[in-house]
Amino acid sequence: MSPAVPDGQLHAEDVSFAYVGAARAALRHVHLGVAPGEVVLITGASGCGKSTLALTLCGLIPSRVHGELRGRVTFGGRPLSGLKPHEASQLVGMVFQNPNLQLITQTVQSEVAFGPENLALPQPEIAARVDECLDVTGMTGMRQASVVTLSGGQKQRTAIAATLAMRPRILVLDEPLSDLDPVGAQEVLGTLQRLARDGGTGVIIIEHRVDEVAPWADRVVLMDDGRVVLDQPPRGAWADRRPWLATGVGIPDMVRLAQAVPEPFGSVLPLSVADAADTVQDTWFPAALAAAAADRASGAGPPAGHPPRDSPPPVLSWEDVSVDFDGNRAVDGVTLAVNEGEWVALIGANGSGKSTLTGLTVGLGQPSSGVVRFRGKPVRPGKVFVHAAQVALLLQAADDMLFETTVRKELEFGFRFRARPEHPVLDVSEAIEFFGFGGQEEASPWELSQGGRQRLALAALLVGAPGVLVLDEPTTGQDADHMRAFLGLLDRLRARTSITIVTVTHDIRGLASRASRVVLLGAGRVRMDGPAGRVFAATGELDRWGVLAPPLGRLQSALLGPAAADVLLGVDELAAAVLAHRPDPAAAGRGAGALRP
């Protein structure tokens, strides 16, 4: 006999699941309970079973995804496995990762009405549900809009509204933020918190972006190899770092900082920038931070991004480039140069013109005016295959760049159509070794992990000997471990080849902070251009153009105000800087302002 389960509580009891033909179970003895109004963050490395757990919790396993299921999932004591999908979805609703694949109709309101219409509800009831769901997701003003015209955040909010229209008591969201910029992510998270707080809906968010979700969550669940290895309220979730380090899942920057500099934070483990700023406001931390910033300012060299007059010509340049699409200006008079060996990150909100600008470097698209040059020579629009030998553009959907049956053939692909380069960045055998494909040369690309396929696509581009690597959102949807591995790979690549890198990214914390120079685009124009520390210090300007600065940047700006002209973006770096300027314990008794030199 199972213990009594409170009404409205979702409960997984000793759930194990193995897909048909799989040698190993995807879920192993999972116990989990979610109450109404609770927000639960489930995280873990890729392949740890998070998405399988989501499908199980909403009843699509076993009704639509087949395999061997043990244990049971109940809602208010009622087993979900015996229910039809439409019955289960009125108890536990599921929002999938890609909003494009779950918006079935053409307008926002018809999408939200689709579920209630299927239930053959009377018209007034359907209308009431549509109004309510659009209101709670903040989409009322866009009810007549065509779904193809919506931004990523709006699409995801429409998908949430459509799921809510089934009136589920619990909402499960599988990586709802993966395709969103930080501002879009905050929109969605705000909506989810309102649902939980005002509507009493239980919310389960499966997400890699722990930093962004943790402040909104009531509980944090960490999974590893199909098991739940940690289930704690957020403030206690990182008290023991070992499970996080073992699984490779990222720890929020504020938590890492509090653990690296424990004294000013005391017993509080902050989850958000506001939390951290409030906690350290009246300690020695702000003064030490200010002293460290003053030190850096006095020793600062000339700003990056403006090479000396005698420097060699840029490897890539955009000269007063504008691009129009259907009468709309996507890029507006951009002048920008990327020098040999630089790592430049292009940041900006969705639709700011980043991808359009980088596409021009390989001849994708045509400037309405201005010129794009590679090593001084104009890039010819449409001649993509010619420019692909000079500039390697790795698309966000790296899977779409793989066409062959084996890893080796994939690397040789380009040479079937053009001569092998005389001086490649890496030749095929070097690429196999460098990217870790030794022993997998004859394996199908589709047998590799997602990270492996991305590495293969990158390797295949590099063997064509380009001088510049352009990466379009390369870390989207990746867990912290894969992201670290990818960034490490880029570091090693730069150390070995001195290749120039241009990155288009929303991943401000991971990727953009690593770049030697950051360019902020807003409404198709260059709004800021400089070292990452200086650009991310300008939180007001970033806000204005729809970009959220990384948490460490925001903390330093919050504590120092306008004095934060150059912020530190690494936790270790920041911790070392403030510890180096902490007050001398002996002098502390004589006043808080007594700082080490």
Contact letters for other proteins, residues 461-500 (x by CB under 8 A) = x--x------------------------------------
Helix, strand, coil fractions of the chain, as percent rounded to 5: 40, 20, 40
* Total residues at interface with other proteins (CB under 8 A): 76
How many other C-beta atoms can be found within 10 angstroms of the C-beta atom of residue 326?
Answer: 5
Cα–Cα distance measured from residue 33 to residue 47, given in angstroms and rounded to the nearest whole number: 22
Closest to other proteins by CB, 372 or 393 = 393
Residues 278-297 that bind other proteins (CB under 8 A): none
Site membership for other proteins, residue 149 (CB under 8 A): yes
Pick the piece of the chain touching other proteins (CB under 8 A) from 73-81, 115-123, 238-246, 273-281: 115-123
Smallest distance, other proteins to C-beta of residue 223, A: 21
Site membership for other proteins, residue 399 (CB under 8 A): yes
List CB contacts of 154: < 8 A, sequence separation 6 or more.
Answer: 139, 142, 145
Closest to other proteins by CB, 293 or 391 = 391
Tokens 């931070």 belong to residue: 289
Contact letters for other proteins, residues 211-250 (x by CB under 8 A) = ----------------------------------------
Residues 317-336 that bind other proteins (CB under 8 A): 326-327
Site membership for other proteins, residue 107 (CB under 8 A): yes
Contact letters for other proteins, residues 76-105 (x by CB under 8 A) = --------xxx-xxx--xx-x-x-xxxxxx
Task: Please state the length of the chain.
Answer: 597
| Contacting residue, 35, 83, 145, 579, with other proteins by CB under 8 A | 145
> Residue 461 burial by CB count (10 A; 0-12/13-18/19+): exposed, middle or buried?
buried
Site membership for other proteins, residue 446 (CB under 8 A): yes
Query: By the 8 A CB rule, do 334 and 528 touch?
Result: no
Closest to other proteins by CB, 105 or 283 = 105
| Contacting residue, 3, 21, 122, 302, with other proteins by CB under 8 A | 122
Strands of 78-79's sheet in order across = 27-34, 10-19, 67-75, 78-79
Look up residue 119 and give its amino acid: L
Pick the piece of the chain touching other proteins (CB under 8 A) from 21-29, 207-215, 315-323, 456-464: 456-464
Q: How far is CA 247 from the centre of its chain?
A: 18
CA dihedral 578, 580, 583, 587 (to 10 degrees): 180
252-259: Cβ within 8 A, 24+ apart: 252/210, 252/211, 252/214, 252/551, 253/211, 253/509, 253/550, 253/551, 253/552, 253/571, 254/551, 254/555, 256/571, 257/552, 257/555, 257/571, 257/574, 257/575
Site membership for other proteins, residue 379 (CB under 8 A): no
| Contacting residue, 310, 377, 417, 495, with other proteins by CB under 8 A | 417
Residues 27-86 that bind other proteins (CB under 8 A): 58, 60, 63-65, 84-86
**Buried/exposed code over 94-104 (b: 16+ C-beta within 10 A; e: otherwise):** bbbbbbeebbe
| Contacting residue, 21, 400, 562, 591, with other proteins by CB under 8 A | 400
Closest to other proteins by CB, 2 or 118 = 118
The DSSP letter of residue 221 is E
Site membership for other proteins, residue 182 (CB under 8 A): no
Closest to other proteins by CB, 64 or 377 = 64
Smallest distance, other proteins to C-beta of residue 170, A: 13
Closest to other proteins by CB, 288 or 392 = 392
**Cα angle, residue 577 at apex, residues 575 and 582 outer, rounded to 5°:** 90
| Contacting residue, 2, 123, 449, 498, with other proteins by CB under 8 A | 123
Smallest distance, other proteins to C-beta of residue 355, A: 11
Cα–Cα distance measured from residue 407 to residue 409, given in angstroms and rounded to the nearest whole number: 6
Pick the piece of the chain touching other proteins (CB under 8 A) from 68-76, 380-388, 520-528, 530-538: 380-388
